[in-house]
Amino acid sequence: MNMTIPGARVTDVRASLPRHKTLRYGRRKPSDIRSAAIHHSATVRVSGAPEAFARYHVGTNGWPGIAYHFVIQKDGVIYWCNDPEANSYHVGNSNRHALGICLVGDFRTLQPTAAQLDAANKLIKHLQEQIPTMKQVLGNHEYPGYA
């Protein structure tokens, strides 16, 4: 997949993130993806490192790797964490059809930065061009079976 997005900074960290020693995420066809699930990291630090999220998801949750396909920092930098074909764990019963995008920050009390919103919009537009079946954009709490 081409991840050159005009006006956006994308850093590919897929090969460098912590992964489980034996477990791997299942694979899906791009045409299985129907939506983008927008998450927030629920962290209050100035930045949130995809490496820290991956360590938590692998070490604490016992998952194959980081849950998110993309992580967007407060400064708008997009980290590419998983191939879209990776059927990662981020929205319960809807994982097979959703791609996970996490914005760093705790949006229960704060708002995303303008740079994050701009990057998220550019990323989603680009992904919808690359994956035409990805028509919906929902907050993670809007998925059935997600708690």
What residues does 9 pair with on adjacent strands? none
Residue 31 lies in a domain: yes
Burial 6-33 (b: 16+ CB within 10 A, else e): eebebeebbeebbbbeeeebeebebebb
pLDDT in tens, the chain (147 residues): 889 999 999 999 999 999 999 999 999 999 999 999 999 998 876 567 999 999 999 999 999 999 999 999 999 999 999 999 999 999 988 999 999 999 999 999 999 999 999 999 999 999 999 999 999 999 888 888 665
Q: What is the domain count for the chain?
A: 1
Q: Can you give the pLDDT at residue 17?
A: 97
In whole angstroms, what is the distance from residue 64 CA to residue 131 CA?
Answer: 24
Residue 4 lies in a domain: no
Residue 30 lies in a domain: yes
Quote the domain boundaries for residue 75: 10-142
Residue 147 lies in a domain: no
CB 72 within 8 A of CB 78: yes
Instruction: Scan for tokens 């020693």, then name that residue.
Output: 21
Find all residues with CB under 8 Å of 60, minimum gap 6, and list them: none
Q: What letter does residue 7 receive in the DSSP assignment?
A: T
Residue 5 lies in a domain: no
Q: Can you give the pLDDT at residue 92?
A: 86
Residue 18 lies in a domain: yes
- Element of type H or E holding 38: strand 35-40
Q: Can you give the pLDDT at residue 146?
A: 60
In whole angstroms, what is the distance from residue 35 CA to residue 16 CA?
Answer: 26
Residue 3 lies in a domain: no
Q: Can you give the pLDDT at residue 140?
A: 87
Residue 110 lies in a domain: yes
| CATH number of 42's domain | 3.40.80.10
Which burial class, exposed, middle or buried, applies to 85 when counting CB atoms under 10 A from its CB (0-12, 13-18, 19+)? middle
* Residue 113: closest CA among 126, 102, 104, 101: 104
